[in-house]
Amino acid sequence: MNSKSTTFDLLLTDTARQKNQSSVTRSELLDFWNDRFEIPPKIFKEYTFWEKGYGKIWVFKGNLSKSIQIEALGLRFTTTNQKSWKPTTNAVQKFGHHARKNVLSLPPDQVLQFVQGAPLHMDWDGTPGYVVVRGNLSDHDIQIGVGLYSNGILHSQIPKSRQLHLS
Amino acid sequence: MSEITSIFSRYEPLLEDYSKFLDVCNTPLPYVVRINTIKTTIQKSTSAFSDLSIDVTPCDWNPLLFQINNSSPGNTLPYLLGWLHGQEEVSSIPPLVLDPLPGDTVWDACSSPGSKTSQLAALMDDTGFIVANDSNLRRMPALRSNLERLGVTIAAITHSDARHFSLKPFDFNTFDSALVDVPCSGEGTIRKNPRALQKWSLKQLFSLQKLQFSILRRAISLVKSGGTVVYSTCTFSPEENEMVVDKILSEGNCTIVPFNLPIVSSPGLIEWEGIQFNPSLNLCKRIWPNQNNTGGFFIAKLEVK
Ligand SMILES: C[S@@+](CC[C@H](N)C(=O)[O-])C[C@H]1O[C@@H](n2cnc3c(N)ncnc32)[C@H](O)[C@@H]1O
């Protein structure tokens, strides 16, 4: 991978993988989304994925022919520099409606807790780890963000700056 | 005499009802949000407003805009979900005039904090390519977080001086169109920011004019022949508006094209303080705060030769 963290490098498919390019491949990334959330790779057909800085993956609709040094390209998608890969809030808000596994649907009162960053105690029989947190607003499903479920607690991963302050 | 009265007296000859203009300038602007069609629909948002008891008044000329009577619209669930973006009514006009199509490659020369960039992306159904540029590093985080929250996946953010913007990092040579929403003296934002005129001076208008002209000229040179460039400011001063456009026309690489607006406006000036401009400048539009109870704006639509 390019050492300059200002550079976006394209994630290539396994076969095209080159040395000194990205730290993960497109296929590994799409496998993760498919395994964890059952979002099939075809959903991302029009998108390319880019790494800027180790393990920080961005999603961009379209393609560019070469690595590029800019401030942003599409939106941050997944962090792969930790043991459990972690989707971003914005990625889940954008693509979470396709998820069919490891989705937690919260009732309205818990949605209000979750968006304020509060941990929620609950029983759930899914695999511990990152989950898509869904709610309902005016009879429509809403994709709120990412939660981390472990030991009977759902920890809100809504970034501090995005959390609501409701009285 | 207040700052407003002493500075704005130069515009008295341009206004039919100058005292009403002054009154409106002294009245705070209502807070308006735009529905982000990348992540929601008008119907979903209006149901959410009513179910969450968010008090809104629809804006009569644009079904995507709502006046929101809530002291902190950023602290609501629809905002967290990226359904809403706080954007003044007049600020939503330049992207509508540019009218990009899905699939276009668009340059947003001065884009922070991304209100118009995200609106352009919505108009393009988040399909195509937008290069959102700004020269101010401190304004980058807001640009980035707005575009991400609003679910825009077709934008590349660049940090450079628009006057010297280079297409080198990219694999194309021209844009289909460009939005040139330049830094300006901000006279038209007085209702939002009563201190907007604190740094006002004629000297400042002329130094901004120089910067605005160079940015506009760069945009004209980067857009394909037949492509559109929209030039806009949130100020009244002819120095930053008609004079900039008049100067670019005299270089001979673009023409002014007519356009209609869904709100009341006045034609661009063809003369100011004894200086005559190209007569086609009357095709530009000025929006005065008292015409529609908004902020002030100037818009020119240009076609590259
Ligand atoms: C009127 S604001 C743009 C508002 C933005 N278009 C929006 O709708 O959210 C003007 C912007 O121009 C930027 N700017 C100033 N000088 C510039 C230059 N030389 N090149 C590029 N951007 C510049 C400022 O940092 C500022 O963000």
pTM over 0.95: yes
Residue ranges in chain B modelled with pLDDT below 70: 1
Q: Which residues in chain B are contacts of A68 at CB distance < 8 A?
A: 156, 169-170
d(CA B121, CA A161): 24
pLDDT at B70: 78
Query: Which H or E run contains B247?
Result: helix B242-250
Residues within a 6 A CB radius of ligand 1: B 91, 110-116, 133-136, 139, 161-163, 181, 183, 211, 215
pLDDT at A19: 55
**What is the residue type of B222?**
L
Query: Which H or E run contains A35?
Result: helix A26-37
Burial B163-186 (b: 16+ CB within 10 A, else e): bebeeebbeeeebbbbbbbbbbbb
d(CA A61, CA A49): 9
pLDDT at B108: 99
Among B45, B81, B104, B106, the strongest candidate for a mutation testing the A interface, having the largest count of A CBs within 10 A, is: B81
Chain-chain contact of A72 with B171 (C-beta, under 8 angstroms): no
d(CA B152, CA A94): 9
Contact (CB, 8 A) for B144 and B215: no
Tell me which of A119 and A12 has the higher pLDDT: A119
Among B35, B148, B160, the strongest candidate for a mutation testing the A interface, having the largest count of A CBs within 10 A, is: B148
Cβ atoms < 10 Å from Cβ of A44 = 20
Average confidence (pLDDT) over A19-39: 90
> B140-149 and B115-123 are packed helices; what angle lies between their axes, rounded to 10 degrees?
30
**What is the residue type of B3?**
E
Flag whether pLDDT at A14 surpasses 80: no
pLDDT at A3: 43
Q: Which residues are CB-contacts of B223 (< 8 A; sequence separation ≥ 6)?
A: B107, B174, B175, B176, B177, B178, B229, B304
pLDDT at A1: 45
Nearest CA in chain A to B144: A72
pLDDT at B131: 98
In three-state secondary structure terms, B149 is helix
Which of these is catalytic: B59, B110, B234, B284? B234
Q: Which stretches of chain B sit within 8 Å of chain A by CB?
A: 39, 44, 47-48, 50-52, 75-78, 80-82, 126-129, 140, 144-145, 147-149, 151-159, 169-171
SS (H, E, C) A68-133: EECCEECEEEEECCCCCCEECHHHHHHHHHHCCCCEEECCHHHHHHHCCCCCEECCCCCCCEEEEE
d(CA B218, CA B265): 28
pLDDT at B2: 80
The helix/strand count (H/E) of chain A reads as 3, 12
pLDDT at A167: 78
Nearest CA in chain B to A69: B169
From the list B52, B75, B147, which residue is nearest A165 (CB)? B75
**What is the residue type of B65?**
L
pLDDT at B48: 97
From the list A75, A115, A138, which residue is nearest B148 (CB)? A75
pLDDT at B135: 98
From the list B77, B153, B158, which residue is nearest A60 (CB)? B153
pLDDT in tens, B238-285: 999 999 999 999 999 999 999 999 999 999 999 999 999 999 999 999
User: Which candidate, B284, B288, B298, B275, places its Cα nearest to that of B254?
Assistant: B284
pLDDT at A18: 57
pLDDT at B265: 98
- Whether B234 is catalytic is yes
pLDDT at B44: 97
How would DSSP label each residue in B5-67? HHHHGGGGGG-SSHHHHHHHHTSPPPPEEEE-TTT--HHHHHHHHHHTT--EEE-TT-TTEEE
